[in-house]
Amino acid sequence: LYELQNLTSQYYTLIPHNFGFSLPPTINNTDMLESETELLKFYMRMGFEEEKVDVGLTPVAGIMSLPLPSSLENACSKLCAAKDIKSSTEKGKSHAAKQSGNPPGTMEAKLYASIMLYTSNAIYKDLNNVLRSEDRTKIKKYFGYLRLFLEALGSLPQTTKTLWRGVNVDLFDQYSKGSTVTWWGVSSCTSDVNVAKNFMKGCGGKCTLLTVQSKTAADISEITFFGNEKEHLLAPGTQLKVLSSVRNGTVTEISLVETGRVLE
């Protein structure tokens, strides 16, 4: 218990919160510790962005024409630790039994497992680095996983909706009105604007609030390890047109609309 309580200041330093003038609650049990850990993972996926925009990268095609891997292990046994694959596979089975996320058709356990592996953060950093790399040959090692993952995202309901991302850098100079940008990485967004704003408040310094009119984002709030943040995923290679970009002091607000995808 003493060790758990000592983690309180460490976690609240790492994880942006908005407690106002109140003291944050003490982390004094494993459930709270797990919750804060998963919240940190979500913020890492959503909010920490590079200041440069990925430009001039070659589109990636052919992934969806590949055979669907027989299992998550078959798709990515060399990409991460076996324990992460096993944990995600077991959770995928549980979600398949419930058909979490209300897919229009039957969604297999291995598809759920591919989402669970991504949100566990076991591969997200390397995967997104590879997707953004100028050396396009590096993506090949992820083809099997991406085949499962893209199938999974496409199996969930996709409706037009407004989403938000709060990021820890000022993107005003990179997102000019009328331009089209490509998000080569997997993009975590939220359907709750307060989640994005609270992250930005906790960051301090310059930051950007991105408002996205999405057409294909997958709602994974019932599937991710941490569902309270209403997480949605945009597939890698999503293209967006910049509708407006305004800087107010340390906060830049950018509005975008999804227009297509260059990774299939």
Tell me: the pLDDT tens digits for 3-15?
444 444 444 444 4
Cβ neighbours around 262 below 10 Å, total: 15
Q: What is the pLDDT of residue 31?
A: 52
Contacts with 195 (C-beta within 8 Å, 6 or more apart), sequence order: 164, 166, 229, 230
For residue 17, which of 194, 233, 214 has the smallest C-alpha distance? 194
Cα–Cα–Cα angle for 239, 240, 242, nearest 5°?
150
Whether 71 has a pLDDT exceeding 90, the answer reads yes
User: Which SS3 state, helix, strand or coil, does residue 120 take?
Assistant: coil
Reported as a single tens digit per residue, the pLDDT across 91-120 is 999 999 999 999 999 999 999 999 999 988
Cα–Cα–Cα angle for 226, 230, 235, nearest 5°?
95
Residues 147-174 have a mean pLDDT of: 94
- Local structure of residue 88 (DSSP, 8 states): H
Half-sphere exposure of residue 91: CA atoms within 13 angstroms, side-chain side: 20
Instruction: Please say whether the beta carbons of 130 and 138 come within 8 A.
Output: yes
For residue 188, which of 48, 14, 11 has the smallest C-alpha distance? 48
For residues 151 and 224, the model is more confident at 151
Q: For the chain, what are the domain ranges?
A: 43-261
Residue entry with tokens 């297509």: 260
Q: What is the pLDDT of residue 97?
A: 98
Size of the chain in residues = 264
Whole-number average pLDDT of the chain: 84
Q: Please state, for a pLDDT cut of 70, what percent of the chain lies above it.
A: 78
For residues 27 and 160, the model is more confident at 160
Instruction: Please say whether the beta carbons of 128 and 185 come within 8 A.
Output: yes
Q: What is the pLDDT of residue 9?
A: 43
Contacts with 96 (C-beta within 8 Å, 6 or more apart), sequence order: 107, 108, 109, 111, 112
For residue 165, which of 262, 68, 42, 55 has the smallest C-alpha distance? 42
Reported as a single tens digit per residue, the pLDDT across 183-242 is 999 998 999 999 889 888 777 788 999 999 999 999 999 997 666 789 999 999 999 999
What does the alpha-carbon distance between residue 177 and residue 110 come to, in Å, rounded to a whole number?
A: 40
Strand partners, 161: 214
Q: What is the pLDDT of residue 186?
A: 92
Q: How confident is the model at residue 243 (pLDDT cuts 50, 70, 90)?
A: very high
Fold of 43-261: Toxin ADP-ribosyltransferase; Chain A, domain 1 (3.90.176)
